Amino acid sequence: MTPAGLRLGAPGVLRDARRPPPSFRPERLDVAGFVGVAPRGPVDEPVALDRWSDYQRHFGGFEGPGLLPYAVRAFFAQGGVRAHVLRVGPLPRAPHPAAEQARALHRITLARADAPGADPGRGAPCTIGLCARNEGSWGGGLTVRWEFSGTGQFTAAATGRDLALPEGRTPPAGSVLRVRGPGLPAAGSFFRVLELAERQDASGARTRVAVLDRPPGGGSRAGAGAPAGAPAGAAPAVEAELVTATVTVADGDPAHPRQERFAELGLGPAHPRYAASVLAAESLLVTPDGPWPAALLPPDAFLGSALSRPVRPGMDRWESIGADSFQGPLPPELLPVGGAESAEDPVSADVVGMDRMALVAEVALLCVPDLLWQYGESVPVTETPAREPADSFAPCPPPPVPLTLHPARPRGLLLDGAAQLPEILRRQQRLVALAERQRRFVALLDVPPGLPVRAVARWRAAFDSSYAAAYHPWLGTVAPDDPDHRAVHVPPSGFAAGIIAERERSLGLPWGPANALAADAVTALQRLRDTDCDELHLLGIDVFRAERDGYRLASARTLSRDPDYLQLSVRRLMTMLRLALDRQARALAFEPHTPQLRDELRGAVVHLLRGLYRSGAFAGDSEEGAFFVRCDERLNPGWSQGLGRLVAEIGVAPARPLEYLVLRIAQDADGAVAVT
């Protein structure tokens, strides 16, 4: 169908320059952000992950004292499909001698052709360095193997520094060639390709040549080194092959081995796949240490392989990680508002930890599983779960079996919930203040472990925000690679984030993210009675209740005292609407303010709200009772239009999820039972 007003002429592709009418679509809020301690991986750089194996590839497994891997694994186990993970490290973040010393350093001996007095065909020995990509003791197990090979052998005529190239042979500038021929060693000699050029002979034919760093055979006269009996002035024939390097990097981790292989690497900076550039841009394990020589050569003309040697082991600086590593030195009011378009956007070095994660526009759920970090000594502990008091007569259960709890971290890593409650509140209130300022995500808090119900009530009194939700108690899970099957207590926010994400993807935002089992949770740090759960629910604490089939999230409330935002689904629905209208209406800026534009805007918003209404997001028996959209002359008088403004009023009535189902059971005189 030809668009109206488009005049067709000659056949071809014609562009319709009309602006499409505005449209709005729901924003996804199932992406989680995790901030914590890991033994390896980039520091203060959010990394997007789509599965648990992505975490293992970037940050390792369960080694190290942090709880971050357990929280991320719990998120994906519940059904989460996308997360951003940020590893914290000691301050300061700027280049610091201690940080450099914490990264493992490996050195390897190659050759360089530009050394004073060096044989240009063999070079002179030189040592180059490869540093572990990030700090940690993991870098001490790295191995780096260099393999040199010659490929694509061809015969060519050499005239001065020009090497005539046969059809299909075009070694790029910056390449290294091993050349054999008259006047050269039997093993050959190395030559560097400075550039590719075209030459025209006396007959007018054009030939593509590689301009070398010196004439093959040591002469610059045409015909020098020509075979005996060859015609006078004939260019000598030589055998040449392209020399490339293959670098294989392995981290030596027996539990989660990682290996990288980079093939067809060049040895000169002008090469399109220069070894230093490729390793710096693509490797997750190593990066060049300092500048490399401009003219690298293999260590021997016979090629072969070489293995790097570690000269400095990496260090884990757990004791240097503190509260500022998670929240940085800047107060929330000085942090940027809004989200960065990508994690690679330039950000001030003072924005670290959860402040840096808060700038990732995708993140809608923020968890900091190591927020209570306090480094200490490793002390394994064995505990016996308390027996649940019986409410009625029943066969006695077998005596509980002692369960070994071995937090894969020093026991003293966590702040003591009772003795250090003010410091815990300071850190968590800082996180909630960040969520309140950004207004894009909900901070998922973990109730400090070990607090009795009365102490939890005092802890809860310190918060009043619909951008925060609290979860209790800590759940025990087992690492899949632990042969002893020892349970580790994990902050419940990771499980909650996965349940929230899965519920949004499967049922939609209007559904309360609760009444779901915590996958892989096998025990809990505290056993809560029914009366405890009742009291905690009225406080707005979301509890994982112990049931026959596991631990089930019993509610989905926020920490707000405002009854309109008591439910987490309501808070997230309103956040989604604000983000959708804010982000997707930006294209209308600088449009002419006309009645047609107002009608198009109103129609687009109505279309969005109508779809949400039909999915159960709003209360009301009809659309008129569920939402309204106004964008008319009354809201946009002439003086307002003169200020360049377009005003629209949008009202919605969010549906609240059902929390209580009351049943009345009555028996009449005939013995019939009725349930209402």
Q: Can you tell me the distance from the alpha carbon of 48 to that of 389, in angstroms, rounded to the nearest whole number?
A: 45
Q: In the structure encoding, which two tokens stand for residue 109, read together?
A: 């001996």
What backbone phi and psi angles, to 5 degrees, belong to 581? Answer: -70, -35
pLDDT of res. 69: 95
Closest CA to 659 of 534, 574, 491, 547: 534
Q: Can you tell me the distance from the alpha carbon of 366 to that of 468, in angstroms, rounded to the nearest whole number?
A: 9
Q: Which residue has the tokens 């929390």?
A: 659
The DSSP symbol for 206 reads: E
Q: Would you say residue 625 has pLDDT above 60?
A: yes
Q: Rounded mean pLDDT of 361-372?
A: 96
Q: Count Cα neighbours of 330 within 13 Å in the Cβ-side half-sphere.
A: 15
Instruction: Domains for the chain: give ranges and CATH numbers.
Output: 32-91+319-375+408-476+488-512+522-545+553-570 (3.40.50), 105-226+234-311 (no CATH), 588-676 (no CATH)
268-to-136, 226, 284, 297 alpha-carbon distances in Å: 31, 30, 22, 9
Are 560 and 465 in contact by the 8 Å Cβ rule? The answer is: yes
Q: Rounded mean pLDDT of 139-168?
A: 89
Closest CA to 322 of 371, 378, 355: 371
The DSSP symbol for 91 reads: S
Query: Beta strand 442-446 with 468-472: parallel, antiparallel or unpaired?
Result: parallel
Closest CA to 541 of 551, 549, 550, 532: 532
Are 315 and 135 in contact by the 8 Å Cβ rule? The answer is: yes
Closest CA to 586 of 338, 411, 398: 338
pTM to 2 decimals?
0.83
Q: Would you say residue 223 has pLDDT above 50?
A: no
266 or 203: which leads in pLDDT: 266
Q: At 202, which amino acid appears?
A: A
Q: In the structure encoding, which two tokens stand for residue 547, read together?
A: 């049931």
Peptide bond into 97 cis (omega under 30): no
What backbone phi and psi angles, to 5 degrees, belong to 493? Answer: -65, -30
pLDDT of res. 227: 43
Peptide bond into 182 cis (omega under 30): no
Q: Can you tell me the distance from the alpha carbon of 373 to that of 134, in angstroms, rounded to the nearest whole number?
A: 21
Q: Would you say residue 380 has pLDDT above 60?
A: no
Q: In the structure encoding, which two tokens stand for residue 329, read together?
A: 């030195």
Mean pLDDT of the chain: 85
Q: Would you say residue 602 has pLDDT above 80?
A: yes
How big is the chain by its Cα radius of gyration, in Å? Answer: 34
Q: Would you say residue 354 has pLDDT above 60?
A: yes
18: exposed, middle or buried (Cβ count in 10 Å: 0-12, 13-18, 19+): exposed
Q: Can you tell me the distance from the alpha carbon of 69 to that of 66, in angstroms, rounded to the nearest whole number?
A: 7
Q: Would you say residue 226 has pLDDT above 80?
A: no
Torsion sign across C-alpha atoms 367, 368, 372, 373: positive
Q: Would you say residue 243 has pLDDT above 50?
A: yes
Q: Would you say residue 397 has pLDDT above 70?
A: no
Are 205 and 114 in contact by the 8 Å Cβ rule? The answer is: no
Q: Count Cα neighbours of 547 within 13 Å in the Cβ-side half-sphere.
A: 14
pLDDT of res. 455: 93
Burial per residue of 517-546, b for 16 or more beta-carbon CB atoms within 10 angstroms, e otherwise? bbbbbebbbbebeeebbebbbebbbbbbbb
Q: Would you say residue 654 has pLDDT above 80?
A: yes
545-579 pLDDT, tens digit per residue, is 999 999 999 999 999 999 999 999 999 999 999 99
pLDDT of res. 219: 45
Least confident of 173-182, 278-287, 636-645, 654-663: 654-663
Closest CA to 568 of 652, 494, 504: 504
Q: Which residue has the tokens 């220069």?
A: 274
pLDDT of res. 346: 63
Closest CA to 40 of 255, 302, 323: 255
pLDDT of res. 338: 67
Q: In the structure encoding, which two tokens stand for residue 233, read together?
A: 């002035």
Q: Can you tell me the distance from the alpha carbon of 306 to that of 111, in angstroms, rounded to the nearest whole number?
A: 12
516-551 pLDDT, tens digit per residue, is 999 999 999 999 999 999 999 999 999 999 999 999
How far out from the chain centre does Cα 262 lie?
23
pLDDT of res. 395: 47
CB atoms within 10 A of CB 201: 10
Under the banding of pLDDT at 50, 70 and 90, the label for residue 225 is very low
Alpha helices in 255-337 (DSSP H): 275-282, 323-327
Under the banding of pLDDT at 50, 70 and 90, the label for residue 175 is very high
Peptide bond into 254 cis (omega under 30): no
646-to-592, 630, 635, 643 alpha-carbon distances in Å: 10, 11, 8, 9
Interhelix angle for 595-614 vs 568-584, to 10°? 150
Q: Can you tell me the distance from the alpha carbon of 36 to that of 134, in angstroms, rounded to the nearest whole number?
A: 16
79 or 17: which leads in pLDDT: 79
277-324 pLDDT, tens digit per residue, is 999 999 999 999 988 988 889 988 888 888 888 888 889 999 889 999
Element (H, E) at 638: helix 638-642
CB atoms within 10 A of CB 146: 22
Are 81 and 365 in contact by the 8 Å Cβ rule? The answer is: no
Under the banding of pLDDT at 50, 70 and 90, the label for residue 468 is very high
Query: Beta strand 541-547 with 468-472: parallel, antiparallel or unpaired?
Result: parallel
Under the banding of pLDDT at 50, 70 and 90, the label for residue 392 is very low
User: What percent of the chain has pLDDT above 70?
Assistant: 86
Q: In the structure encoding, which two tokens stand for residue 122, read together?
A: 């063999």
pLDDT of res. 178: 92
Q: Would you say residue 382 has pLDDT above 80?
A: no
Closest CA to 560 of 463, 448, 471: 463
Residue 6: which residues within 8 A CB-CB, separation 6 or more? 14, 16
Q: Would you say residue 406 has pLDDT above 50?
A: no
User: What percent of the chain has pLDDT above 90?
Assistant: 52
Closest CA to 184 of 119, 233, 269, 263: 119
